[in-house]
Structure 1
């Protein structure tokens, strides 16, 4: 869902910079609602099979997972049978969702970059780039911890259990903690207040 919303935000940036005069006619309330519902449907479509994939596994030992939340692979690892199908499905979902969304995000930013570089003045270019900075930071904040958490699960036999817990917690807490900073720093009042705070500390 989060990945889908980041893609929707990339589309919003694309329309705002590449078709600014048509922004209101392209991104109507009904179009925004359709994009939101498509992101939700996309997420549900890929997540629904996960409980069924876990349910088919036999569990004959401890039912306690060494994780901070009921993660699919953390539960699957408690099974007494092969979890290869779960592993393959998890990798396919990660590659398909993240890969496809990232591909479209990159394509939108290539078009944005072309449009920005064609602008006449340096000031206009900086202003256009400035509207994309917070979104690019949000992409990094979401995808980097997600990829790290996924990688630690795939190579679990080489990594200590507490690292899984730390990575899982980091993945859950880091993006929501950083989002107010990423989007708030651009707000003039917050920006001015932070500058004032740092100036006081330097004296």
Structure 2
């Protein structure tokens, strides 16, 4: 499968192998995704496939969005994502992509937004050590010195300090597919993926064999 697919994180659990070792796994609901647009080098200047995912009510879409999806003869979809491809001849408008396009044992890359933690301090954001916790200490979780005095006399860019933490795109590479459930459109992968339960995930085939 040359292009990716979209899905949602269902949750994490663990299974045990034949040696009794616990293996952390993530359950992901994948697709069905629909091909909503085919872009060619002749018309748009590059080859790409746009896919849609997650059916929603008509009232949540604008008229241009409804017209775009109606042209492709697909349901009302919430998420649209575009992938560059070398050859568009393998795809047709309205084509459905499901977990049947994946194989057990394959390695995939999973992208998603990490859990947001809001404004966080140095200890949580950068794993800094805390100060002495005894009664006389006035520096338990304070940042301490943040730069030199007279020279250069300013805080250098990139200084690790308190600030916004999480809620950013992250990609976990080379996660192996352990099981595929075609009936419920679910895959089980070894390891963890970004985000909390229900998080939107972008799944693509890894180059690892």
TM-score (norm 1): 0.20
Structure with larger Rg: 2
Higher share of residues assigned strand: 2
Q: Which has the higher contact order (CA 8 A, sep 6+)?
A: 2
TM-score (norm 2): 0.20
Higher share of residues assigned helix: 1
